[in-house]
């Protein structure tokens, strides 16, 4: 049925699995826009075929969300810093991005290697992460290393490579983070036994490969780049393509996020629902939003300094406010890398109880531990679905000054025999990609104390 097809399209999208296709659309002078193609579309080089079941895809999303939470709330030893901004000659930039596992991979050029024929840089795929602020690539001489399907970055051969001595005024970290006699960084994800990477911080040239077929590029010299030399416990697959991290987060200890270093203070995205659709990612002036439906809410700081937070003041279901009050203190993160929305445990308990009450009026009661069929996703709250049932409520997130109204196909995972509430309980509150579809979000990092989040409903998809 159409509802199920739409739901599954959303679910496939929300495995952090968008693909930025290498078709560049010029919407005006000095503007670069990249097309987004769903990775499970037949037009995508990552089309996986039809062997995996719908429930297996949903369960992979749930596992990806749990891994994302472990990644975003680490113990980190990065130190606060001050960094120089890079210069900019155009208003908008973009990169070619593809999907690998549960990550967006952004293709960038690193270094300078003339007079080699062809590109004067080396191309690498970095995990595009709005929850991290430091950009690093695995470098030659690493031990131990991430598994990587291409050679590590040969920094010693790059003509634009500049080492920074430990304690030098240009070093954005303290002596405690030095790597030998050089300026260094050290990131520990999750806890002391979890994934970690450390190495040196160097000055290098970063090049955005916006459209390799047209030779359209933009380079930024003297970029603060992490050179990863020791990585432990990352558990990447043997033929891994990801060579490091492209940090698009708000900020934190260590180097400045990439948008600040290249002096681009605005970006926007619109997540679409159909595997036969495409959408756009804008970086720079093209991300500005205006119009009668556009609303805004101020960004705020939260427990993870790299994440974007807003003030979530209440939640409504089917237009009934839950009056959660102080249970929502501490802010709510907005993250495209988390497929599924997480609610802090006491808030989740209230939301769960309301959904149980809502479906009870139709004589529908949740599966118990003994009655749950094996072909139902691993969500905590699932119900048997009566034939033809379609009385699904909306869910509204009430931010300061703005409401995000999530339609039912962004709240529920629905199959022939089940209805699951697509939410998870956790240690923090974070709105994931599932609840962001068919809205355009724009992050303006110049307005307000920290920045302002603009959003409006939009039919994000166009025919691919």
Q: Which residues contact 326 (CB under 8 A, 6 or more apart)?
A: none
For the segment 402-439, what is each residue's pLDDT rounded down to a tens digit? 999 999 988 999 988 899 999 999 888 999 877 888 89
- Cα–Cα separations (whole angstroms), residue 4 to 377, 405, 458: 14, 20, 21
Instruction: Read off the pLDDT band of 66 (50, 70, 90).
Output: low
Q: Which residues of 20-35 are buried (b: 16+ CB within 10 A; e: fewer)?
A: bbbebeeeeeebbbbb
Average pLDDT of the segment spanning 344-360:
96
| Domains in the chain: ranges and CATH | 2-8+289-463 (2.40.70.10), 24-285 (2.40.70.10)
pLDDT tens digit string along 152-209? 999 999 999 999 999 999 999 989 999 999 999 988 764 455 678 999 999 999 887 6
- In 70-121, where do the E strands start and end? 96-100, 103-110
Residues in a beta bridge with 267: 283, 443
**Which residue has better confidence, 51 or 313?**
313
Asked if pLDDT for residue 230 goes beyond 90, the answer is: yes
Residue 67: pLDDT band with limits 50, 70, 90: low
Give the number of other Cβ atoms within 10 Å of residue 354's Cβ. 18
- pLDDT per residue as tens digits for the range 259-291: 788 788 888 877 765 555 555 667 777 788 989
Mean pLDDT (the chain) is 77
Which residues have a Cβ under 8 Å from the Cβ of 287 and sit 6 or more positions away?
92, 266, 267, 268, 442, 443, 444
Q: Report d(CA 137, CA 179) in Å as an integer.
A: 15
The first and second tokens of residue 209, run together, are 């490969």
As a whole number of angstroms, the distance between CA 437 and CA 275 comes to 13
CA-wise closest residue to 252 among 137, 125, 126, 83: 83
Kindly give the interhelix angle for 2-13 and 54-72, rounded to the nearest 10 degrees: 30
418 three-class SS: strand
Q: CA 255 to CA 223: how far, in whole Å?
A: 10
The stretch 143-153 carries a mean pLDDT of 92
Give strand ranges (E) for 55-116: 96-100, 103-110
Q: pLDDT (tens digit, 9 = 90+) per residue, 215-226? A: 567 788 999 999
Question: Is residue 94 scored above 50 in pLDDT?
Answer: no
Q: CA triplet 341, 399, 446: central angle to 5 degrees?
A: 100
pLDDT over 70 for what percent of the chain?
Answer: 69
Regarding predicted confidence, which is higher, 342 or 253?
342
| 131, two tokens | 């929850």
Contacts of 80 (CB under 8 A, 6+ apart): 252, 253, 254
- Give the whole-angstrom CA distance, residue 34 versus residue 93: 9
Could you give the CA distance from residue 336 to residue 36 in angstroms, rounded to a whole number? 14
191 Ramachandran zone, left/alpha/beta (phi>0; psi -120 to 50):
beta
Phi-psi region of 284 (alpha: psi -120 to 50; beta: other; left: phi over 0): left
């Amino acid at each position: 049925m159409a509802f199920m097809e739409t739901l599954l399209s959303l679910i496939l999208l929300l495995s952090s699995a968008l693909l930025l296709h290498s078709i560049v659309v010029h919407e005006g002078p000095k503007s670069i826009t990249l097309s987004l193609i769903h990775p499970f579309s037949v037009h995508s080089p990552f089309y996986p075929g039809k062997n995996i079941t719908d429930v297996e895809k949903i369960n992979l999303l749930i596992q990806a969300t749990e891994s994302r939470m472990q990644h975003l709330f680490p113990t980190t030893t990065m130190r606060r810093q001050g960094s120089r901004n890079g210069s900019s000659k155009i208003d908008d930039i973009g990169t070619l991005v593809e999907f690998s596992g549960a990550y967006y991979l952004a293709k960038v050029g690193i270094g300078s290697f003339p007079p080699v024929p062809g590109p004067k840089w080396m191309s690498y795929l970095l995990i595009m992460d709005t929850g991290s602020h430091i950009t690093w690539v695995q470098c030659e001489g690493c031990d131990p290393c991430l598994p990587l399907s291409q050679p590590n970055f040969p920094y010693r051969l790059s003509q634009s490579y500049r080492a920074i001595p430990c304690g030098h005024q240009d070093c954005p970290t303290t002596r405690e983070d030095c790597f030998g006699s050089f300026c260094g960084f050290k990131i520990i994800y999750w806890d002391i036994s979890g994934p970690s990477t450390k190495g040196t911080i160097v000055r290098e040239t970063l090049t955005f490969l916006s459209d390799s077929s047209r030779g359209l590029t933009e380079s930024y010299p003297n970029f603060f780049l992490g050179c990863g030399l020791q990585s432990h416990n990352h558990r990447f697959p043997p033929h891994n393509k990801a060579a490091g991290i492209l940090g698009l987060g708000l900020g934190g200890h260590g180097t400045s996020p990439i948008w600040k270093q290249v002096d681009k203070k605005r970006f926007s995205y619109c997540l679409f629902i159909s595997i036969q659709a495409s959408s756009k990612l804008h970086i720079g002036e093209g991300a500005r939003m205006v119009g009668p439906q556009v609303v805004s809410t101020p960004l705020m700081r939260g427990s993870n300094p790299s994440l974007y937070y807003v003030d979530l003041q209440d939640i409504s279901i089917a237009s009934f406010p839950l009056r959660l009050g102080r249970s929502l203190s501490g802010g709510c993160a907005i993250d495209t890398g988390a497929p599924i929305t997480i609610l802090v445990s006491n808030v989740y308990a209230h939301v769960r109880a309301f959904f149980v009450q809502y479906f009870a009026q139709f004589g529908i009661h949740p599966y118990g531990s003994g009655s749950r069929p094996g072909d139902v996703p691993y969500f905590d709250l699932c119900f048997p679905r009566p034939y033809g049932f379609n009385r699904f409520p909306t869910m509204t997130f009430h931010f300061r000054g703005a409401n995000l109204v999530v339609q039912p196909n962004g709240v529920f995972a629905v199959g022939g025999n089940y209805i699951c509430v697509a939410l998870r309980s956790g240690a923090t509150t974070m709105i994931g990609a599932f609840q962001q579809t068919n809205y355009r979000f724009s992050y303006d990092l110049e307005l307000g104390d920290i920045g302002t989040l603009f959003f409006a409903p939009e039919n994000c998809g166009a025919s691919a």
